[in-house]
Structure formats: C-alpha cells, structure tokens
Amino acid sequence: MVTYVTDVHDAERESTGCETDRGAHDGGDVVSVIGAGRILPVVVLADPAGAAPLAEALLAGGLRTAEVTFRTPAAADAIAAMAGHPGMLVGAGTVLTVEQVDRAVDAGARFVVSPGFGPAVVRRCQELDLPVFPGVSSATEIQMALDAGLDTVKFFPAEQLGGVGMVSALAAPFRSVRFIPTGGVSPANVADYLAHPAVLAVGGTWMVAPRLLDAGDWAEVTRLTGAAVAAARAAD
C-alpha cells in the first residue's frame, strides 16, 4: 500500500511515538525517520527545477526522505527546494568538505552523508548538531566512527565489499552499530539487506536513476519508489 505523509512531524510521531522539534536537528529523530522509511533515495540532480516534482514523486510513492548529493552544482538549490516541501526530510550526500556541510545546512539539510569517514566533516556536523552518517568499509573505520561518538554509518560500496555477508561479519563485533548499506543495492537484493537486524535502512539510486530525473519521468519514480517501499514492508 502506498502511503502519503504530508508532514514530517507526522512521520516522526509515527516512528517515535513522540512530538518532535523540527528545528532541533535531533539525531535520534532523524535516525528514526530514516529507519522507518528503510530506503534512502540517493539523488543526483542536474537541474534544480526537478527538485519539487521529485519530492512530490517520492512522497506519492511512499518515501519522505532523500539524500541529495553534492555531485552537481545544483545540489544546494535542489536541497533547498526539496527541504521546503511539506513532508520531506532531506539530507546532503557526497559531502566531502566543511564548506559543503555549511552550504548544506544553509540550504536546509537535516543530515549529512559522506562516502567515507572524513574527520573534519564529522567534526563540523557535530559542532552544528547535525546528524552525520559517514561511510565505512572496514572494522578500522567503524572504530573511528565509534571514537567520534557515532553509531549509525553508511556501509559503502556495499555490494562491492561483500554485501550482506560483510554486514554480518562487521556487525558481529560492533553490536551497537547500525548500517545504511549503499552501492549496488537493487530490487533483487534490497529485502536481504533489510532483513539483517543491523541494517537501519539502505541507500540507492534505483528509484531515482539519473536518466529518470533527466527525462522528468516522475510517474516512473513514483512507481519504482512504491515497489521499493512494498519490498521493504515485506522484509519487515
């Protein structure tokens, strides 16, 4: 069933059972919303004009979160447009520098994702009380995240690193860590990832493929998003 949530506060209340303060940048609330959605679309938007219809398409498909990557010059404008859309919880992805953290926050990003563990990026996010999910690919990097006080990390690139088997191997010693596997996640393997208890959510581009965004094929974005949500529900 496709759901349509018009207010992120509703999503937070649904997932946490409590009232939240949108302005508080509370990491727990953001993690709860991402964990409730279970799928984090990784967006590469070339034209910020696509941001508003993309937000509509994702919401119509049943997802209210998105990671908008700093891989195009449109990133900050796209974050601003999507973050201003009622119901959306938007983060910045591919954040590699402190300057990008600041631009992301100014644009309205509620969380930051990086492909790897960048100490300066993590520190800046923590100064701003902004939830940050750095990428990890090894036990050493997980320990760096733990040392920084983080317990939710992106696992990237997930399939290339060994997929669910590698998540299991890394989760065994790090009992408190929640993973967001990203990279190579697809309709074929999403249920396997989501069935793992250490997996908070998965990230991926398959429902927001750049060719769909470039073509403005919002109906297909909604269809693929709805199918992804259905697969996630089936895995729960």
Catalytic residues: 67, 154
> Which residue, 42 or 92, is less far from ligand 3PG as judged by CB?
42
> Which residue, 43 or 171, is less far from ligand 3PG as judged by CB?
43
Single-letter amino acid code for the residue at 219? A
Which residue's structure tokens are 């073509």? 215
Non-local CB neighbours of 72 within 8 Å, separated by 6+ positions: 44, 45, 46, 78
- In which order are the strands placed within the sheet that holds 202-204? 132-133, 112-113, 89-93, 65-69, 39-43, 202-204
> Which residue, 163 or 204, is less far from ligand 3PG as judged by CB?
204
Report which of 142, 89, 133 is spatially closest to residue 115, judged by C-alpha positions: 133
What is the rounded CA–CA span in Å between residue 8 and residue 94? 23
Report which of 85, 79, 134 is spatially closest to residue 105, judged by C-alpha positions: 79
Supply the minimum distance, in Å, between the C-beta of residue 173 and ligand 3PG. Answer: 24
Supply the minimum distance, in Å, between the C-beta of residue 204 and ligand 3PG. Answer: 4
Q: Is residue 163 at the binding interface for ligand 3PG, with CB under 6 A as the rule?
A: no
Report which of 92, 118, 93 is spatially closest to residue 106, judged by C-alpha positions: 92
CA dihedral of residues 79, 80, 82, 84 (deg, nearest 10): 150
Supply the minimum distance, in Å, between the C-beta of residue 135 and ligand 3PG. Answer: 8
Scanning residues 79 to 118, which ones bind ligand 3PG (CB under 6 A)? Answer: none
Supply the minimum distance, in Å, between the C-beta of residue 154 and ligand 3PG. Answer: 7
> Which residue, 5 or 167, is less far from ligand 3PG as judged by CB?
167
Scanning residues 196 to 225, which ones bind ligand 3PG (CB under 6 A)? Answer: 203-206
Supply the minimum distance, in Å, between the C-beta of residue 206 and ligand 3PG. Answer: 6
Length of the chain: 236
Binding mask 126-155 for ligand 3PG (x = CB under 6 A): ------------------------------
Extended beta strands in 165-206, E state: 178-181, 202-204
Residue choice 37, 61, 163, 183 for contact with ligand 3PG (CB under 6 A) = 183
> Which residue, 76 or 113, is less far from ligand 3PG as judged by CB?
113
Size of the site for ligand 3PG (CB under 6 A): 10
Residue choice 8, 31, 42, 194 for contact with ligand 3PG (CB under 6 A) = 42
Name residue 66's beta-bridge partners. 90
Give the interface with ligand 3PG as residue ranges (CB under 6 A).
42, 156, 182-185, 203-206
